[in-house]
Amino acid sequence: MAFETILTETRGKVGLITLNRPQALNALNSALLGEVNQALDAFEADANIGCIVITGSEKAFAAGADIKEMSELNYPHTYMADFFSGWEKVSGRRKPMIAAVAGFALGGGCEFAMMCDFIIAADNAKFGQPEIKLGVMPGMGGTQRLTRLIGRAKAMEMCLTGRMMGAEEAERSGLVARVVPAADLLNEALKTADTIASMSLPIAMMTKETINRADEVTLSEGIRFERRLFHAMFATADQKEGMAAFVGKRPPEFKNG
């Protein structure tokens, strides 16, 4: 599929989306949002794809929502069009999704990365929610997801001052899963995605869904949800295969069923 704002490719069982608006540091405009959702639709529909990686350039994952596009908007339009609600479709994806972040991940860029299941960061990554400097606040989930990931004190400080956080602090604070040298970022992310894609896809999807419940429900409800899906896994051939392979001292061959 030919896109104008992103590049897509398939690497084995991994779907790769590269944000590609270098002239605007991958600022997220409506066209890019539409294309990201189209690409994700295709990867989700492709039974061969077990994990998705989203990345940008070495200079910027994304420097935020497109300020030039937003500066023209008014309240009735943003409300009536439910401006940027398409990002909920991005965050609601069911297959595992990794953000591979180098350079700036600011505003909507940081929020996009946080919509993924986890972030692998290059050592030059810089995260921030600088919207307050533009007279607005995060609007793609940043106030909620950042607070859950790094806690209230740091989230308040980041959103109220607009300061950037480097990769090391981001890892220490729980915003990113791992920091790697910038030159290794894509390889490391693809390797991690490959590992995930080698598992049973339905089991990986149920695991993702269950971890995501932790943000929505009480501990006892979350544990009940986990146990019910755990029980359901015994109805899959992949559970039989995984355990038989362990007992037989051989690698499993999951069939996604």
DSSP 131-181: GGGGT----SSHHHHHHHHH-HHHHHHHHHH--EEEHHHHHHHTS-SEEE-
Smallest distance from ligand CO8 to CB 78, Å: 7
- Active site (catalytic) residues: 65, 108, 111, 131
Q: Applying CB under 6 A, does 106 fall inside the site for ligand CO8?
A: yes
The CB-side HSE value for 112 (13 A sphere, CA atoms) comes to 33
Smallest distance from ligand CO8 to CB 20, Å: 13
- Nearer CB in complex with ligand CO8: 110/120: 110
Smallest distance from ligand CO8 to CB 209, Å: 25
Q: Applying CB under 6 A, does 146 fall inside the site for ligand CO8?
A: no
Binding mask 191-220 for ligand CO8 (x = CB under 6 A): ------------------------------
Question: Cα separation of 124 and 166, whole Å?
Answer: 7
Cβ-Cβ contacts under 8 Å for 206 (sequence gap 6 or more): 229, 232, 233
Residue from the set 34, 139, 202, 252 that interacts with ligand CO8 by CB under 6 A: 139
Q: Applying CB under 6 A, does 68 fall inside the site for ligand CO8?
A: yes
Which listed range, 7-15, 20-28, 50-58, 204-212, lies at the site for ligand CO8 (CB under 6 A)? Answer: 20-28
Q: Which residue has the tokens 């500066």?
A: 71
Q: Which amino acid is at 113?
A: A
Smallest distance from ligand CO8 to CB 83, Å: 5
Cβ-Cβ contacts under 8 Å for 185 (sequence gap 6 or more): 55, 100, 101, 102, 120, 121, 122
Question: Cα separation of 30 and 24, whole Å?
Answer: 14
Give residues in contact with ligand CO8 (CB under 6 A): 24-25, 27, 63-68, 83-84, 104, 106-108, 130-131, 134, 138-140
